[in-house]
Structure 1
Amino acid sequence: MKIYNKKTFRYGLGFIVLGALLLLTGIWQGFDLKGTVMTVLCLLIGGGGLVRSFSREMSREDKIAELDERNRMVEWRAKSRALGIAELVCFVCILFSIFGMQVMEAFFGGMLAAFGLMLTAMLLVELLTLVYYNKRL
């Protein structure tokens, strides 16, 4: 058997290993509904990935879809929107922490510092990527 799409093969193999580990954990500690559903999903997704990586036609379809300009644009826009939403959530959490410090100073002070660092990191990364792409394009 020849592997036509190594990336899909690695993802499939990773999900199979994860599913097998979940199965072993379930056998060892006992099965519950959430663990069983996760095990089955991981094994099915992993099996599907392996099948797609061994099939020439399916691998060709995956590579064409991966290189399609519309798919890439949708992915870039989704990631950009996700970063904007994450920045907004961090900012709201900072405001919540500022008002919460009047109730429990130690707890909300730590939250304020953590969310402040996350927001600063996100804004810094956004600024650096903006400068990088403005120089390149």
Structure 2
Amino acid sequence: MKIYDKKKLVYGIMSLLLGLTLLAFGFLKGFDAKSIILCILMLLIGAGEFFISINKETAKKEHIEEFDERNRLILLTSTSRAFHIAKNINFVLMLFFLIVGAKHEAQLIMGVGMGFAFSFSVMMFTDIFSSFYYEKHM
């Protein structure tokens, strides 16, 4: 058995182990609908990833699909758009919690707003530093 994609092999083994662990805990503590569905999904995902990692044709096809220009462009565009949407939502939530907290003089609500403000500032610095990095390296 030759391994053609080590990353998928690791993901497959980890998913299989998580599924088996969930199955073992299910037998010990009892099953509910959510744990049964999750266990089945983890086992299927793990088996699929494991199969892809040891099958030469499938691993080659996945590799080509992953590095296809169109797929890379779609991934980069969607990731960029998701980051900008998350940044805008974070800014709106920050303003909302800070204004509501100041109006009602509630320090807890203002603390939540400050958490969003910290998160927003991390997003801004990440955006700025990644722009500088890619301007230098491209």
Structure 2 residue identity aligned to 1:32: D
Taking only the aligned residue pairs, the percentage that are identical comes to: 34
Structure 1 CA distance for aligned equivalents of residues 10 and 55 of structure 2: 15
Please state how far the C-alpha of 1:128 moved relative to its aligned partner.
0.3
Structure 2 residue identity aligned to 1:71: N
Please state how far the C-alpha of 1:100 moved relative to its aligned partner.
2.4
Structure 2 residue identity aligned to 1:29: K
Structure 2 CA distance for aligned equivalents of residues 36 and 133 of structure 1: 45
Please state how far the C-alpha of 1:29 moved relative to its aligned partner.
2.1
Please state how far the C-alpha of 1:7 moved relative to its aligned partner.
1.2
Query: Which runs of 5 or more residues in structure 2 are unaligned?
Result: none
Query: Which runs of 5 or more residues in structure 1 are unaligned?
Result: none
Structure 1 CA distance for aligned equivalents of residues 85 and 35 of structure 2: 30
The correspondence of residues 1-137 of structure 1 with structure 2, limited to 5 A, is 1-101=1-101, 102-103=103-104, 105-137=106-138
Matched residue count: 137
Which stretch of structure 1 is more off in the superposition, 92-101 or 54-63? 92-101
Structure 2 CA distance for aligned equivalents of residues 73 and 51 of structure 1: 28
Structure 1 CA distance for aligned equivalents of residues 105 and 23 of structure 2: 42
Instruction: Say if 2:98 and 2:114, in contact at 8 Å, map to a contact too.
Output: no
Cα root mean square deviation, aligned? 1.3
TM-score normalised by length of structure 2: 0.93
